Amino acid sequence: QQQVKQSPQSLIVQKGGIPIINCAYENTAFDYFPWYQQFPGKGPALLIAIRPDVSEKKEGRFTISFNKSAKQFSLHIMDSQPGDSATYFCAASKTDGPDKLIFGTGTRLQVFP
């Protein structure tokens, strides 16, 4: 069962563009929504995360927008760079326990110079 749906599957942008990756979740008990970045041959690494008590969080060029009523959240990458080319995964979990992350299916981002 796919509890976190992610789109698009792949994304190609020019340097300086603003790619947007969207995720939707089903379980209203989720209260932690991280995004992970994965480079080829490496493990995922936490990029940025948000809790449902805020609608937006920014860290550098990365922004999460969160819409609790729609059960959706998205990642925006400002002024994208070739070094941002990676696979991005959204995830969700309930933090009142062992924090079992439910991952989206991933978005492969390519940023061309």
Partner 1 sequence: NAGVTQTPKFRVLKTGQSMTLLCAQDMNHEYMYWYRQDPGMGLRLIHYSVGEGTTAKGEVPDGYNVSRLKKQNFLLGLESAAPSQTSVYFCASRAPGLFNEQFFGPGTRLTVL
> Least distance (Å) from partner 1 to the CB of residue 113?
27
Interacting residues with partner 1 (CB under 8 A)? 4, 6, 9, 32, 34, 36, 41-46, 49, 51, 89, 95, 98-106
* Spatial contact of 57 and 50, defined as CB atoms under 8 Å apart: yes
> Least distance (Å) from partner 1 to the CB of residue 10?
11
User: Residue 17 or residue 72: which is nearer to partner 1 going by CB?
Assistant: 72
Listed residue (77, 79, 78, 25) closest to 52, CA to CA: 25
User: Residue 80 or residue 93: which is nearer to partner 1 going by CB?
Assistant: 93
User: Residue 81 or residue 95: which is nearer to partner 1 going by CB?
Assistant: 95
User: Residue 66 or residue 103: which is nearer to partner 1 going by CB?
Assistant: 103
> Least distance (Å) from partner 1 to the CB of residue 106?
5
Measured in Å, how far apart are the chain's first and last C-alpha atoms? 38
> Least distance (Å) from partner 1 to the CB of residue 111?
21
Q: What is the DSSP string of 6-70?
A: EE-SEEEEETT---EEEEEE--TT--BEEEEEE-TTS--EEEEEE-TT-SEEEETTEEEEEETTT
